[in-house]
Chain A
Amino acid sequence: MEVRTIVLRVDGTNCDEETVISFKKAGSTVDLAHVNELIRKEKSLEDYQVLCIPGGFTYGDDIAAGKIFAILLKYKLSKDIKKFVEEGKLVIGICNGFQVLVKTGLLPALEGIMKKQEATLAFNDCGYFQDRWIYLKHENKGKCVFTKGIKDIIHIPVNHAEGKFVADRDVIRRLEKNDQVVFKYVDPDGNYAGFPWTPNGSMDNIAGICNPEGNVFGLMPHPEKFIHKWTHPYWTRLPGSSDVGDGFAIFKNAVEFAKKKL
């Protein structure tokens, strides 16, 4: 069965090209669409099984990262998006996309889909944009559709200024209890650690979470930046290592799930 993915862009989206390539490589048909095309109903979410909000600086991250795009989705497309999520279709937000999902209330969505903002991604503690490769420990016990069977620890980059995961203690407890925590930042040995291994100061080293159903997933690091070996920062030291990058599994999982179940 054909899997159709929509990669949704708006003013300031800038990781769309590599995200499209990643989904295509994973076997999906991909439409790169401006949100205006959905608002004008030239395209419809109904035609897709996977929705991806890629990285970028939507609206310049003015006011706060992902904020204005989140407002736009809430005011113009919330009905369609709610239906999409309720049908169990897949939504992934990467970096700026994650910020958007959190600020629309699509994640963690403890109280329901797009009901309220329950967490945030605040400015990095170091005060600056950070581009660095980090290690993520897969913490999910099976709920998150996107990371089933993924390696215990993956190595991919972060490229963001506002990625510090912040929420009430109670929210974080519930995330843990619900198996909604997907990735945490660790050091190369797999231990939780502070800067630079946790590049932003995230509470409990949280890097990515999913919704209670596991079909909506967001993360700050960029899996689409590492789908083949040659974007690894020191592949020249690793002759004979796998040609496939650690980030690819996430796209593959999404497409495989959609192929079978949606």
Chain B
Amino acid sequence: MVTVNEIKILGKSEKELLKISRDYLLALNLEEMKKIQGYFAKKGRNPTDVELETIAQTWSEHCVHKTFKGIINTPDGEINGLLKTFIMKATEELNMPWCKVVFKDNAGIVEFDDNFDIAMKVETHNHPTALDPYGGAGTGSGGVFRDVMGVGAKPILSTDVLFFGPLDYPFEKLPRGAMHPKRLMKGSVAGIRDYGNKMGIPTANGGIGFDEGYVGNPLVYAGCVGIIPKNKYIKNPRPGDAILLVGGRTGRDGIHGVTFASLELTAESEKTSSGAVQIGNPIVEKKVLDGLLRARDAHEKPLYSAVTDCGGGGLSSAAGEMGKDIGIEVNLEKVPLKYAGLEPWEIWISEAQERMLLAVPQKNVEEILKIFENENCEATVIGRFTGDKKLVLRYKGRVVADLDMDFVHEGIPRVVRKAKWRRPKYPEPDFPDKDDLTEDLKAILKSPNVASKEWVIRQYDHEVQAKTVIKPLQGIKCDGPGDACVLKPVADSWKGIVVSNGINPKYSIDPYNMVLSAIDEAIRNNVCCGGRRIAILDNFSWGNPEREDNLGQLVEACKACYDGAIAFKTPFISGKDSLYNEYDTGKGEKVSIPPTLLISAIGIIPDVRKAVTMDVKEVGNPIYIIGETKDELGGSHYYFIHGFKGNRVPTVDLKKAKKSFDALIKAMDKDLVRACHDCSEGGIGVAATEMAFAGELGMRIYLEKVPTSGLERNDKILFSESNSRFLVEIKRGKEKEFEKIMKGNVFAKIGEVTGDKKLVVVGLNGKIVEENVLELKKVWKSTFDW
């Protein structure tokens, strides 16, 4: 028997209101509950469960980004919305003409060429992955693909960045209810693999890192790039248009996913949140995609007037969002169900996967239904756009919700939060430099964050669609770690898309510089392959923002977002935040994850035939370094293997960085650069090693030639992780031309490619590293030799 309950909130005390919020898993705070109480008091009635759930979904952190839009009081004054003050502001000020759709749709859209635009979106799926790594990570991919499909684009690239606890973490120490990091990793990789491979979207870019801070709360960032013909983007539903639901059926899966995302993980999460698990079926989504693209391209104009993804919050968010300016009417009994017995509110907020909503002018309904039928893809008209700015839901004729769109979408009170953070001080390392650093180099190469991820990469189909022209594994044996991937998306054009990422939570001891480092890393990885005209995306994974120190760190991070974007002239085009990433140890202690920001960068390259890879190519070619090496080993891998954090994390010289990046691109366009690799974790030492073993040639470098800020220790020069640095192999005989282009930037010739397959590093007083590159490769590959 299907029921609709009235929930009695009129006349309830504050305490009772909070109890209702808790009992129904609404994740609404007192102020919000009171606002709702006031709204219904005016209406003179209590809300139905459907209505209350609708508001809770729409007002969830996941859907409206309360924290990023709220008012924040800091010791330095009030911030009127982090998003507006920093992130979107950078985009507005840069005002790039090639930015087409930013911060207002499912994905950001930038121009590709005269005929096509590119869409990109990156999402987090941390909480679902913690509970069910295979399903959680897989549907993370599925969700972000739909985001890109939700602007009418065809997904052409999947990118994934994952963080887990240490792989050798003892079972006994795991928080209650938490899965072991190794199981989480294997499950996540399998989920991403099966979703991407089966849908035929290449996973050609990404990363995996490990840190004790993620033991109870893994991170899964799923990103997607799509391509769309120029005149095909449309978001213009009109009164009278039909609401068409396509794809998977609706079940109880994923109920309360978004409100659950605003609650912390506890040992009980496993028991109370089984509904939050989402079960994916990539083939259903593939059929949605096949139908959608045909509906888009059947005629000059798409057969639909708008399309959107059914993601967090389910139909409630998708239909609500699409109809917020005009109003909608939905008959819930029309929604195809997986099984009988769902209550109307469950149908409305279910986060069952692989569903999308289309607005379709009545005259096109028949044709579009035929298209989806041919794809064996279920498509059902469930309602229409009205024009009265109301949200009306019926179940078998009975009105179960009747709300004003304005209240649902604009009624939420702004949160006011306090931010205050003071930098912690960690002990500075005091161990001496050594005469031979070969073993230290090997220890870093073996460390899971740096070690080869070939075991993972080969499970991902990174070449389906045949667009991947620079692949994640590079070099003569196809096993060197690429900095970025390059796609050639259009068969008869040489133009390419360059995609890369930057992230390093080990620098979170200083969130401002951590974020600048992530921006610098994402952009310099892009530049390594020849990328330019770069747009970036932000993805925050943070602890509970209601804690002052967490929010203080977030403020620092957002300031850096603005400064970095402006300095590099790289607008943010889309972003996402996952807050409340903390877990209960089971002993009443709450642990936040390290503040983590992923920056994804998407650039273009005018001619993919000019793209550069990281493997050294030819004996006798000179090796140059670009950028200055400083005493910046705080959070470095070198300190990490010695058990230290340190304090001075890498900074970015905002004035110099972009200038040198631009010069390097110029040299690439002149065909002077044979190989290019960025210096990140493990610094010059790791970069040189990787370049050498990817090309299976030797390399000899001289540390005394490296431009430094007065560094006198070999270990610091070799392993400092200062930003904005590249190692480049230049064509022999082209040194002068290269040096002329680089003039005015910090750079130096520091060595050459040799024929003896040996990596030799000559320190300030003689050799400090000497080892066969194949041996170094073996060490680097040994960690994930699964």
Contact = CB atoms under 8 A, between A and B. Distances in A.
Interaction A to B: yes
Interface of A: 11-12, 14-15, 17-18, 21, 34, 36-37, 55-57, 59-61, 128-133, 157, 159, 161, 222, 224-225, 227, 230-231, 233-237
Contacts of B617: 236-237
Nearest to B469: A230
B464 A14 contact: yes
A231 to B, nearest CB: 6
Given A14-B200, A230-B488, A159 B463 contact: yes
Contacts of B197: 57, 129, 159, 161
Given A233-B474, A234-B613, A131 B608 contact: no
B569 interface: no
B615 A60 contact: no
Contact of B469 (A17, A21, A231): A231
A12 B198 CA distance: 7
Nearest to B189: A128
B222 interface: no
A128 B455 CA distance: 10
B673 to A, nearest CB: 10
A98 to B, nearest CB: 16
Contacts of A21: 466, 491
Contact of B615 (A37, A61, A224, A237): A237
A234 B465 CA distance: 18
A133 B462 CA distance: 11
Nearest to A22: B466
Interface stretch (B20-28, B125-133, B282-290, B596-604): B282-290
**SS of B interface (majority):** loop
Contact of A37 (B199, B374, B468): B374
Contact of B471 (A18, A222, A233): A233
A236 B471 contact: no
Contacts of B608: 230
B374 A157 contact: no
Given A60-B198, A231-B466, A132 B478 contact: yes
Interface residues of B, number: 42
B459 interface: yes
Interface string B600-620: 000000001101110101000
A14 B474 contact: no
B306 to A, nearest CB: 26
10 contacts: A12-B283, A14-B464, A15-B200, A15-B464, A15-B465, A130-B459, A131-B458, A157-B463, A236-B615, A237-B615
A241 to B, nearest CB: 12
Contacts of B198: 12, 14, 57, 60-61
Contact of A236 (B282, B458, B612): B612
B475 interface: yes
Nearest to A130: B458
A131 B457 CA distance: 8
A36 B294 CA distance: 15
B286 A14 contact: yes
B287 A231 contact: no
A11 to B, nearest CB: 5
A56 B286 CA distance: 11
A236 B200 contact: no
Interface of B: 193, 197-200, 281-283, 286-287, 374-376, 457-466, 468-471, 473-476, 478, 488, 491, 608-609, 611-613, 615, 617, 695
A18 B466 contact: yes
- Please name the 9 residue pairs, one residue from A and one from B, whose CB atoms are nearest each other, closest first: A14-B200, A18-B466, A57-B198, A60-B283, A236-B613, A12-B283, A230-B469, A233-B478, A159-B461
Given A128-B458, A129-B461, A236-B615, 16 more contacts: A11-B375, A12-B198, A14-B198, A14-B199, A14-B464, A18-B465, A57-B282, A57-B283, A59-B283, A131-B463, A132-B458, A157-B463, A225-B466, A234-B474, A236-B474, A237-B617
Given A129-B193, A159-B461, A237-B617, A11 B478 contact: no
A139 B458 CA distance: 27
A129 B491 CA distance: 27
Contacts of B193: 129
Contacts of A129: 193, 197, 458-461
Contacts of A236: 470, 474, 611-613, 615, 617
B466 A11 contact: no
Contacts of B476: 234, 237
A233 B200 CA distance: 19
A36 B193 CA distance: 28
A15 B461 CA distance: 12
Nearest to B468: A231
A70 to B, nearest CB: 16
A11 B281 CA distance: 12
A154 B188 CA distance: 34
Contacts of A231: 463, 466, 468-469
Contacts of A15: 200, 464-466
B460 A34 contact: no
Given A56-B200, A128-B459, A159-B463, A234 B475 contact: yes
Given A129-B461, A159-B464, A234 B615 contact: yes
A15 to B, nearest CB: 6
B460 A131 contact: yes
Contacts of B287: 11-12
B375 A60 contact: no
Contacts of A224: 466
A34 B458 contact: no
B609 A230 contact: yes
Contacts of A133: 478
Q: Which of B199, B375, B461 neighbours the largest number of chain A CB atoms within 10 Å of its CB?
A: B461
A224 B458 CA distance: 19
